[in-house]
Chains A and B, each alone.
Chain A
Amino acid sequence: MSKKETKNTFEHSLNRLEKIVTSLEEGEVSLEESLKMYEEGIQLSKECIETLNKAELKIKQLTKDLNGKLQLTDFEE
């Protein structure tokens, strides 16, 4: 459930941002609407850049235990 939510947050945000930019560029939204969109767009761009800047690579490994059950563990290089 939360997997799906977090799964494409970044891509989703970036897509939404792109959509907003296109709409604003085409100028076919009302002034009120465009102000809202602009605010949302700025917020999204902040979030996206934040995500990009604070992240570090997480590495896990998928292995089978003795019973053949799959388990995720941290990977030590």
Chain B
Amino acid sequence: MSENLTGLVKIIGISILLVLLWAFLAYQVPENFLKPNNIENLLRRTALFGILGIGVSFVIISSGIDLSIGSLVCFIACLLALFLSVSYNPYVSTDVLEIKAADKKLIVNPDANFSPGQTVRYYGGRRARNAMLTITAIQPTEYEGRQASEILVDQALTRDDKTDSGNRSVGKIAAMYPISAVSGDHLNIPFGQLTPRDRVWFVHPERGLKEKTVAAVEPTGSTPGLNRVTFTESLDGIDATYIAIPLARKQKMSVPVAILSVLLIALGLGMIHGVLITKLKQQPFVVTLCGLLIYRGLSRWLSNDQTLGFGNEFEGSLGLLATGRLVLWDSGGSSFGIPYSFFFLLLLTVAAIIFLNFTIWGRYILALGRNEEAARYSGVNTGRMTILAYILCAVLTGIGGILFALDANSIAPSSFGNFFELYAIAAAVLGGCSLRGGEGSIIGVVVGTALMQTLYNSIVLLKIPDELEYAIIGAVILIGVTSDEVIRMIASRIKRE
């Protein structure tokens, strides 16, 4: 039998199983299974898990294992959320160092760019209440031996306060600007630095605070320095009695830098796995088991165990990678489109097939998975190729992590990505990878993933108690992987008789 034939038989077998399952669902619960929404979901989940499956199949083919995938997905997701975290701070503001309520005095950092006559908002204090103040005078002073500014205001704050070792500031003051010509979704403001995606606080002495996002800014032309600002939504309930605090949008890293950084981190971690396994002769199981624990712990620590997300910051841009779709058909009420992430899977599948089957490195990985010693005796640098397999796995996990993060937009560091490594390994094994190494095909892994996701889907659709989910998936994998051995045994017995 030729070397590709056994693999082909496996792929055909599992594909038939998949089609049968689809046919069964389409017959049994047609309205639910064939709903465009359901198919889209199935495609999206297959895409995301398929990418992880392709990654781990390289490692499995090299006769290794990677248990750290789920934790790495979470770690990468957390890093991405942190790298792309967005904050809004007043354009003109400073920390308050001391409040002398009776004297109507504030001591602030000297870099403050304020002038007498300006209205400012005091907020964020520990003791004193928020307030709107007008500056009457500014003079240099000293605070605890260093330069500071003393600001005199028109009214007294509620309480005295002072910085101490625990607090480097006792609140902030931010410059405020009057607004005029408020109508619909735009208004005029005498402030020139606002740019689209910035935000503005509208503060009213009695009515509290509202926050709106800037859509466009243009000079009015009539008065120098006066700008016409359009917002993303209408300014209902806001009028000229409000005073505005312009907020600058600050994103920790640009999108390309953030994505490149997390992928490089994934690559580095994969390389560390590979080096520990090849140069320090550690067992893959142990190395990646430690990775599983370490990345999970780091994720929880980096995020203070708080759920992270991207809010709606990247809805129309980066987020489309995970949530967008190519609409194929739209009939008003319902529509069907192929999720962009599915195209990712197709792209990566093709790339992985080419790598594994048509490059020398792919052949080396297959060879060393079959017989590492013989590969070494044939001049294959087996150490370097093993490291490469772990790097590929980690980078694909990184890509998967990015997509999972954008898709979920809610990353709970203690549970995000749990068991993903087992789904990936199970899909690879279902798809014909042997944990002994040297055997496996990319197509098989993708079909295996689709089968797993369809199973998951059918548990939901057929209203099987979801407590049974793992039991059913486990049983099907077991049947899938033992069936070909059983068939082979029966076949050889028949042949003998």
Q: Do A and B come from one complex?
A: no
